[in-house]
Amino acid sequence: MSFTANDFLLNARHLQGAYPESLRATFSPEAIAAARQAITAWEGYAPTPLVDLPALAERLDLGRICIKDESGRFGLGSFKALGGAYAVARVMAMQGGAEPLTVCCATDGNHGRSVAWGAQKLGAKAVIFIHETVSQARAEAIARYGAEVIRTPGTYDDSVREADRQARANGWTVVSDTSYPGYDAIPRDVMQGYAVMVAEALDQLQGTRPTHAFVQGGVGGLAAAVTAELWLAAEGAPPAIAVVEPETAACLLESARAGKPVTVGGDLETIMAGLACGEPSLIAWPVLDQGARAFLSIPDTLAEEAMRLLASGQAGAHLTIGESGVAGLAGLICAAQDPQQRAALGLGPDSVVLLIGSEGDTDPEAYARIVGGVEAVE
Ligand SMILES: Cc1ncc(COP(=O)(O)O)c(C=O)c1O
């Protein structure tokens, strides 16, 4: 097992100490508690498991590695079930149910499934925009919740713009997981829903505080939720957060390099479909700008290796985690094996590392192609 990151950047603007007041409008203990109260009341709610990977921790000479297994979240297959559906519920509550509501969003799969599910539960209509390369399996999984699915030309970022344009033309409400100029309230609700997962993980750790978290980034909403909740809980000594992205879509890493949110171009092609984003979420960015210690980018091959590692049981547990769900794990292995990165992040035998296995086999065909034939160890 030899993992090498494509790129590694230490964040010069990273802050130590207490959670900044300026970020409280985006994440606060009160907002996260409200999201938790709402979501834990939904039918079928159960915390997802936090699973130890002792064999991998030993191999990497780290104290402990725990991964939140989001494959079973509300039967939707990913942590995204917490965000979009919560935001739909907030929109409905605010609107008071007076008129029939249509919500729409762009998605590379998982967020659209969450919005469609939330809308179906609450009696709203959902129109979900997917870009060119979103697999048919992902499109069908969204349509199963009664949504209209519309395929648009271009990338994920193009589909975000198309959803916004069509919403304006038709009087629909955009429930996006990313924030852009003039649009931030709903993505904030989405991220506060994600933070509920981190609050669960802290409960499951029973007082042990993670020293590190390696979290995958698409537009940065997940990584911002993890960063903020761990920072709020840390009472002035936050863990080291590393954000991990595909090398073809590393918009957060490039934003950290530029010192401001920047867009990366190209076709953004990667097997890590949920991370194929070229534009950071504008409200996630300040949290990561100040809260992330490092940014890494990885090739697709390492995501495949990490999926097989979890499927085989060689890490110390058998887990079914999909392409986007393993990027944090792949990034951790890179950093732990590289002496300079290891030292820069303070990784060592006392480290307690939190990972988010953010999806299961949400595209079962792709999963089987990558993991097929892997021998499971006892
Ligand atoms: C499984 C999975 N993990 C991680 C992410 C990244 O989340 P974000 O775009 O909020 O950074 C996504 C986004 O769609 C996803 O589907």
Q: What is the block-wise mean pLDDT of the chain (378 residues), using blocks of 10 residues? A: 93 93 97 98 97 98 98 97 97 85 95 97 96 92 96 93 96 96 96 98 97 98 98 92 98 98 93 95 98 98 98 98 98 98 98 98 95 82
If asked whether residues 161 and 197 sit together in one domain, one would say no
Whether residues 339 and 282 share a domain: the answer is: yes
Q: Is 218 in the pocket of ligand 1 (CB under 6 A)?
A: yes
Ligand 1 lined by 220 (C-beta under 6 Å):
yes
CB atoms inside a 10 Å sphere around CB 289: 21
Give the position, in ligand 1's atom list, of the atom nearest the Cα of 216.
4
Print the domain residue range for 107. Answer: 84-176
Regarding whether 282 and 214 lie in a shared domain, the answer is yes
Residue 182 lies in a domain: no
Q: Are residues 126 and 44 in the same domain?
A: no
> Which CATH number belongs to the domain containing residue 91 in this structure?
3.40.50.1100
Residue 239 beta carbon below 6 angstroms from any ligand 1 atom: no
- Cα 130 to middle of ligand 1, angstroms: 15
Q: Residue 236 is encoded by which pair of tokens?
A: 């002035």
Task: Name residue, tokens 């060119």.
Answer: 132
Residue 378 confidence (pLDDT): 67
- Rounded to an integer, what distance in angstroms lies between the CA atom of residue 347 and that of residue 335? 8
Beta carbons of 354 and 24 less than 8 angstroms apart: no
Are 18 and 134 found together in one domain? no
31 with 17, same domain?
A: yes
Query: What pLDDT shows up at residue 198?
Result: 98
Q: Are the CB atoms for 301 and 294 separated by under 8 Å? A: no
Residues 127 and 237 placed together within one structural domain of the fold: no
Task: Exactly one of 69, 108, 289, 338 is catalytic; name it.
Answer: 108
Residues 204 and 261 in one domain: yes
Ligand 1 test: best mutation among 73, 80, 157, most atoms within 8 Å of CB?
80
111 lines ligand 1 (CB under 6 A): yes
Q: How many residues does the chain have?
A: 378
**Do residue 101 and residue 239 come from a single domain?**
no
- pLDDT at residue 184, as a whole number: 97
Contacts of 265 (CB under 8 A, 6+ apart): 278
What pLDDT is stored for residue 149 in this prediction? 97
* Structure token pair of residue 324: 């986007």
Structure tokens at 313: 């049981």
Cα–ligand 1 centroid distance for 161 (angstroms): 18
Number of domains in the chain: 2
User: Which listed residue (80, 157, 164, 289) is catalytic?
Assistant: 80
Please confirm, yes or no, whether 80 is among the known catalytic residues.
Answer: yes
CA of 222 to the centre of ligand 1 (A): 6
Locate the ligand 1 atom nearest the alpha carbon of residue 362 and give its number. Answer: 1
Q: Are residues 106 and 157 in the same domain?
A: yes
Would 264 be classed as within a structural domain? yes
Strand pairing of 64-69 and 102-107? unpaired
Q: Are residues 29 and 91 in the same domain?
A: no
Residues 297 and 318 in one domain: yes
Distance from the alpha carbon of residue 276 to the mean position of ligand 1, in angstroms: 9
d(CA 212, CA 244) in angstroms, rounded, equals 13
CA torsion angle for 311, 365, 144, 271 (degrees, to 10)?
80
CA dihedral 308, 309, 310, 312 (to 10 degrees): 80
Classify strands 173-174 and 148-152 as parallel, antiparallel or unpaired: unpaired
